[in-house]
Amino acid sequence: MKLEQKEKQLLFSETIIPDIFFAEHLSQIPSDYLKIYLYLLFLSKYKKDIKINDLSKKLSLPLKSINDGLKYLEVNNLILKNTTGFSIIDLQEATLNNLYKPNLTQSKETVERNSRNQSRANAIEHINNMYFQGIMGPTWYNDIDLWFKKYNFDEQVMITLFDYCYKRSALHKNYVQTVAEAWGTNKIQTYNDLDLYYQKQEKLTKIKNSIAKKLGKHNGLTQYEEAYIENWILDFGYDMNIIEIALKRTTYKQNPTFEYINNIISDWHERNLKTTEQIEAFLEQRKKQNKDLKEIKSQVSKANYEQRKYTNLDFLYANNNIEGEN
């Protein structure tokens, strides 16, 4: 027995998009690439062949946008390149395959982690309800689990991570991953660590603004100038009081650069000068040495002048004697 279904005419047919696309991809895909994907999805039902040039004309997009879009869709596992062209990936099947990871053994460590896993499950459920209206895409669960393991975040830090990105209207995986990486690099694991990190960042911002104001940089600092300041504070451990001493020394130089200021501060760091008292004492000693050196040069110059004067008199006296003898 053979069952057949009558093919619908174009007027009555529909193109089905799985909900997983809206949950996982819609917030990240650029608008031009979305047009390409939807049109490919539409054409795939009819098994139509279409050339890149035709696709460009049909969607009113440049060839470069078409090629870049196809690469994007392929990299993000929405389409698959094959010998004849491209095929549309079944998102529901692909997601299920990615999520299904058979666990053949259950170790003692796994059992001991049940309590912690329950706490993490509660945190993930909170993230799902608070920031995804209860329809968070399945692959987010894998990513969150990975971030828990990779960065050892506690549950409160993980929730704060999503809250931070949500408030910046940047709740997509690349941005969340970037922030998570930054927090991990700064050894943030607990909420207390995060609080101390925020305090440090706030202090850093205030110092940057203060330096920009003192140097008359009303348009703000460049990325490279901010990097200098972060090096002074985070790597050298200097505060604004020490940096202020360096800034005051720029009054003796016309159009001082950040590199000039950096050379001064780096020299103090290399000399292991850590406090304002040590730096002030060093500068006072340097000032005295320069004064002594000037005095020595002055004395040497005076002595040379006296010697030249004496030599000239001797020469004049000798010439007079010669003329008298003649």
Confidence of residue 111 (pLDDT cuts 50, 70, 90): very low
Question: What's residue 201's pLDDT?
Answer: 87
Both 128 and 183 in one domain: the answer is: yes
DSSP code per residue over 189-256:
-SHHHHHHHHHHHHHHHHHHHHHHHHTT-TT---HHHHHHHHIIIIIS---HHHHHHHHHGGGGSSS-
Residues 65-98: tens digit of each pLDDT: 999 999 999 888 888 887 777 888 888 777 766 6
| pLDDT, average across residues 142-148 | 90
**Which structure tokens are listed for 218?**
């009303």
Among 134-148, 254-268, 296-310, which is the least confidently predicted range? 296-310
Question: What's residue 10's pLDDT?
Answer: 66
Q: Is 272 helix (H, G, I), strand (E, B) or coil?
A: coil
Q: Is residue 101 part of a domain?
A: no
Query: Has residue 16 got a pLDDT over 70?
Result: yes
Confidence of residue 314 (pLDDT cuts 50, 70, 90): low
**Above pLDDT 70, what percent of the chain?**
81
Q: Is residue 65 part of a domain?
A: yes
Question: What's residue 312's pLDDT?
Answer: 53
Both 120 and 59 in one domain: the answer is: no
Question: What's residue 232's pLDDT?
Answer: 93
Both 71 and 126 in one domain: the answer is: no
Confidence of residue 34 (pLDDT cuts 50, 70, 90): very high
Both 250 and 299 in one domain: the answer is: no
Q: Is residue 52 part of a domain?
A: yes
| pLDDT, average across residues 303-307 | 60
Among 19-28, 146-155, 230-239, which is the least confidently predicted range? 19-28
Both 184 and 209 in one domain: the answer is: no
Q: Is residue 107 part of a domain?
A: no
Q: What is the CATH number of the domain that holds 89?
A: 1.10.10.10
Question: What's residue 30's pLDDT?
Answer: 92
Both 18 and 77 in one domain: the answer is: yes
Both 155 and 229 in one domain: the answer is: no
Task: Single out the residue in 189, 220, 235 at which a domain terminates.
Answer: 189
Element (H, E) at 186: none
Both 199 and 185 in one domain: the answer is: no
Both 134 and 178 in one domain: the answer is: yes
What pTM value is reported for the model? 0.53
Query: Has residue 214 got a pLDDT over 70?
Result: yes
Both 172 and 199 in one domain: the answer is: no
Question: What's residue 107's pLDDT?
Answer: 43
Question: What's residue 2's pLDDT?
Answer: 41
By C-alpha distance, which of 15, 18, 34 is closest to 76? Answer: 34
Residues 112-138: tens digit of each pLDDT: 455 567 788 889 989 999 999 888 888
Q: Is residue 139 part of a domain?
A: yes
Gap between the Cα atoms of 145 and 127, Å rounded: 13
Q: Is residue 5 part of a domain?
A: no
Q: Count of domains in the chain?
A: 4
By C-alpha distance, which of 208, 202, 250 is closest to 232? Answer: 208
Confidence of residue 295 (pLDDT cuts 50, 70, 90): confident
Question: What's residue 301's pLDDT?
Answer: 67
Q: Is residue 106 part of a domain?
A: no
Q: Is residue 2 part of a domain?
A: no
C-beta of residue 14 within 8 angstroms of C-beta of residue 48: no
Mean pLDDT of the residues in the chain: 81
Q: Which domain holds residue 285?
A: 277-326
**Above pLDDT 90, what percent of the chain?**
35
Both 224 and 258 in one domain: the answer is: yes
Element (H, E) at 7: none
Both 134 and 203 in one domain: the answer is: no
Question: What's residue 305's pLDDT?
Answer: 57
| pLDDT, average across residues 259-273 | 93
